[in-house]
C-alpha cells in the first residue's frame, strides 16, 4: 500500500470508530499495516491511569508478565523520556544514550520478539502526558515514511481517549497555582496574603479549594501532589 493509501486507511478506520475500544483496534490495524503489530497506550502523568502499567496494549503476553514481575513501571526509561520529549523517539536511540543498567527493559522487549519501537509522546493540558508506543519485529520498519503516519495514528488514538482523561485531571485556577508556588517557597498564610494583596480569609478559602481538588489535608501534601502531577511550572 502506498503512502496515500495508508493515510486513507487511517482516516476511514478512525472515522468508523464509535468507542475507545474501536479507536484502539483502529490504531492497531493501521499500525500493523505499516509493520508495527504491537501497540501500547501508557499514560505517564496527570491521567486517571498514570499509576497503572498501561491503559491498553497488544504487546506480547510474555512481555506483559515480565514487565509486571520486574516492576518496570517505576524504572521504564521510555516513560521518563516521554515527560520531556516533544518529538517521537525510538527505543534504539534512547537505549544508546543510557547506562547499561537502565537498558534491561529493551533486552526483554527483544526477547519477546519486538526488535525496536517508536514512542510518540503526547502532552495535554495541566501536565497530562501519555506515551503511545509502536513496536516492530523488523528494525527497518521505522523510517521517514512510517514515522509521520504513526504520529497521526497516535494523535487520533489519543483524541479518542482525551475526553475521559481530561475529566480526571485536576484543574487549578491561576490564583491557586500562585498560592501553591508561594507555599512551596515556605511562605505562611499571612505572608501569602501580603504578597498577593488579599485577605487572610481569602487565603484560607483558596487553600480549602486546593486541598479539596488535590484530595489532601495539609500544605505539604498539596505541594508534593501538585509537583508530582506536573501542575506547577517548575
pLDDT digits (tens, 9 = 90+) for 177-227: 899 999 988 899 999 999 999 999 999 999 999 999 999 999 988 988 888
- CATH of region 174-228: 1.10.10.10
Pick from 9-23, 41-55, 158-172: least confident: 158-172
Residue with the bigger pLDDT between 232 and 115: it is 115
Sequence-distant (6+) residues with CB within 8 A of 194 are none
Has this prediction a pTM greater than 0.85? Answer: no
Is the domain spanning 3-167 CATH 3.30.450.80? The answer is yes
Instruction: Look at the block and give the residue holding cell 496527570.
Output: 46
Residue with the bigger pLDDT between 230 and 11: it is 11
Sequence-distant (6+) residues with CB within 8 A of 71 are none
Q: Domain boundaries in the chain?
A: 3-167, 174-228
Per-residue pLDDT at 101: 86
Reference 165, options 222, 125, 205; nearest CA is 125
Cα distance between residue 122 and residue 77, in whole Å:
16
**Contact (Cβ atoms closer than 8 angstroms) between residue 63 and residue 112:** yes
Specify whether the backbone of 109 is left (phi greater than 0), alpha (psi in -120 to 50) or beta: alpha
Per-residue pLDDT at 66: 97
124 pLDDT band, cuts 50/70/90, is confident
Amino acid at each position: 500500500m502506498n503512502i496515500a493509501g495508508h493515510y486513507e486507511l487511517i482516516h476511514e478506520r478512525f472515522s468508523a470508530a464509535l468507542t475507545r475500544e474501536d479507536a484502539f483496534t483502529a490504531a492497531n490495524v493501521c499500525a500493523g499495516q505499516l509493520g508495527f503489530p504491537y501497540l501500547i497506550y501508557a499514560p505517564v502523568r496527570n491521567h486517571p491511569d498514570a499509576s497503572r502499567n498501561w491503559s491498553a496494549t497488544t504487546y506480547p503476553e510474555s512481555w506483559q508478565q515480565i514487565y509486571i514481575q520486574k516492576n518496570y513501571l517505576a524504572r521504564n526509561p521510555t516513560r521518563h523520556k516521554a515527560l520531556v520529549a516533544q518529538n517521537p523517539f525510538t527505543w534504539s536511540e534512547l537505549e544508546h544514550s543510557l547506562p547499561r543498567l537502565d537498558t534491561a527493559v529493551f533486552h526483554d522487549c527483544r526477547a519477546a520478539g519486538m526488535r525496536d519501537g517508536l514512542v510518540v509522546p503526547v502532552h495535554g493540558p495541566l501536565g497530562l502526558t501519555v506515551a503511545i508506543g509502536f513496536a516492530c519485529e523488523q528494525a527497518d520498519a521505522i523510517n521517514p515514511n512510517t514515522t509521520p503516519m504513526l504520529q497521526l495514528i497516535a494523535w487520533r488514538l489519543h483524541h479518542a481517549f482525551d475526553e475521559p482523561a481530561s475529566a480526571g485531571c485536576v484543574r487549578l485556577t491561576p490564583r491557586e497555582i500562585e498560592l501553591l508556588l508561594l507555599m512551596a517557597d515556605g511562605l505562611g498564610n499571612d505572608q501569602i496574603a501580603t504578597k498577593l494583596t488579599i485577605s487572610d480569609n481569602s487565603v484560607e478559602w483558596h487553600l480549602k479549594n486546593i486541598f479539596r481538588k488535590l484530595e489532601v489535608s495539609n500544605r505539604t501534601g498539596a505541594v508534593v501532589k501538585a509537583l508530582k502531577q506536573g501542575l506547577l511550572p517548575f
